A and B are shown apart, each in its own frame.
Chain A
Amino acid sequence: MTAISTMKPLAEPRTSEAIRIRPATGSDLAELTRIDEEVSGVAKRKYWTHLLASGGGRSRYVLVAEEQNQIQGFIVGEIRAWEFGEPPCGWVFAIEVRPKTRLQGIGTDLFSALCDRFRRAGVTKVRTIMARDNHLVLSFFRSQGMMAGPFIELEMALDRNG
C-alpha cells in the first residue's frame, strides 16, 4: 500500500490543450467498459453500471480524460472515512489509459485532477493498493511521489469448511 501526505506532488500536470478531464456521466458507460476490457482483459459491465449510477455521490469520483470526443483514460477514486481506523482519506481504486495514448502525461493529469478534488474536499492524504507484480502501475504511482504507507496488507484463503 502506498500513501502520500501533504508532500508536494513529484510530477507536474502536463495536460495538453487537446485533453480535457471531466467527471464521467451515464453516457460514457459503453466506452468506459470497452477501455477497461481492453486494458484489464475483463468485461465488467455490471460494475461500471453501478459505479456510474452511484457516481453522483459526494465522495465517489470517476474522471475521464477526453481527446476530440474520445475517452482516452479514466481514474476512479473515493474518499473513505474511518476505514482501518483512519481519518478521511482519498483512495485511488483504478487508473487506466488506452495503450495507444500512454506516456503522454494523461495518467499524470488524471491523477492530479483526482488529487485536486480530494484536496478541495479537505482531504490531505491519498492512498492506493495494487498488485505487487504490476510494475507499470507501481512505477507510475512512484513517479507521482507515492511512497510506502504505514499499513501492511494481509490476506488468507478461507477454508470452505471453516
Chain B
Amino acid sequence: MKLQKASSFALFAVLELAANPTRQLSGVEIAAKYGISVHHLAKVLRDLGRAGIVDGARGVGGGYRLIANPKRLTLLDVIQVFEPVGSDSGASGGLKALTDPESALRVILDELDDHTVATFRSISISTMLKLMAAKPWAHSSRVFRPARTAAGRA
C-alpha cells in the first residue's frame, strides 16, 4: 500500500523528533535530511501542531519538539491526521443497496482494511525507533522489502 505524501512526511518528522528528544529540530533541517519540500513539510508540521502531536515556533527556521508520548503515539494516530485509514462505510454508496458483486468485493476490501488498521494501531513511535535500530531488513529479505518502504516516501 502507499501512503499520501503528507502522511509520510509527518511520520519522518515525528520519528526525527522522537529520536532527538533533547533537541528542537527545524522544518528546514528535517526537509533537508529527507530531500523533501520545506514548504510542504511546514504545512504538515502545522497540522501536527493542531493535532497536539508536536509543538514549535512559527516560521521555517523555528524549532519543533514532540509533545505526544512516543510510547503511546501510534502510526495510525499520525496517519489519520492526513488521510482516512480503513473502511469508510460512507464510501460504499450510502443508502443505495449494493449489488452482490459490490457486496462481495466490500467484504474482501473490509478484510484488508481491518488488517491495515490493526497494524498501524499496534505500532507506536517508540516501537518504530526500536525497529529502526534493529534493522531487521538487513537480516531477512522475506519480512521486509526496503524497496516498497522507499516507495512510501514518494
Contacts and interface: CB of A to CB of B under 8 A. Distances in A.
B122 to A, nearest CB: 4
B134 A142 contact: no
A150 B145 CA distance: 13
Q: Binding site of A, secondary structure by majority: helix, strand, loop or mixed?
A: loop
B130 A5 contact: no
B33 interface: no
Interface residues of B, number: 21
A7 B140 contact: yes
Contacts, number: 52
A33 B136 CA distance: 37
A143 interface: yes
Contacts of A138: 118, 121-122
Given A5-B143, A145-B136, A10 B122 contact: no
B140 A5 contact: yes
A11 B130 contact: yes
B127 A147 contact: no
B123 interface: yes
Given A139-B124, A143-B124, A143-B130, A148 B119 contact: yes
A120 interface: no
Nearest to B122: A138
B131 interface: yes
Given A7-B134, A145-B136, A135 B142 contact: no
B24 interface: no
A5 B118 CA distance: 21
A142 B122 CA distance: 7
Contacts of B133: 10
Interface in B114-144: 114-115, 118-119, 121-124, 126-127, 130-131, 133-134, 136, 139-140, 142-144
Nearest to A9: B134
Given A5-B143, A7-B134, A10-B130, A142 B118 contact: no
A133 interface: yes
Nearest to A132: B118
Contacts of A135: 118, 121-122
23 contacts: A5-B139, A5-B140, A5-B143, A7-B140, A8-B134, A10-B131, A10-B133, A10-B134, A11-B130, A132-B114, A132-B118, A138-B122, A139-B124, A142-B122, A142-B123, A142-B127, A143-B126, A145-B131, A147-B143, A147-B144, A148-B119, A148-B143, A149-B143
Interface of B: 74, 114-115, 118-119, 121-124, 126-127, 130-131, 133-134, 136, 139-140, 142-144
Interface of A: 5-8, 10-11, 132-133, 135, 138-139, 141-143, 145, 147-150
Given A10-B134, A139-B74, A139-B124, 15 more contacts: A5-B139, A6-B139, A7-B140, A8-B134, A10-B127, A132-B115, A132-B118, A135-B121, A135-B122, A139-B123, A139-B127, A142-B122, A142-B123, A145-B136, A148-B143
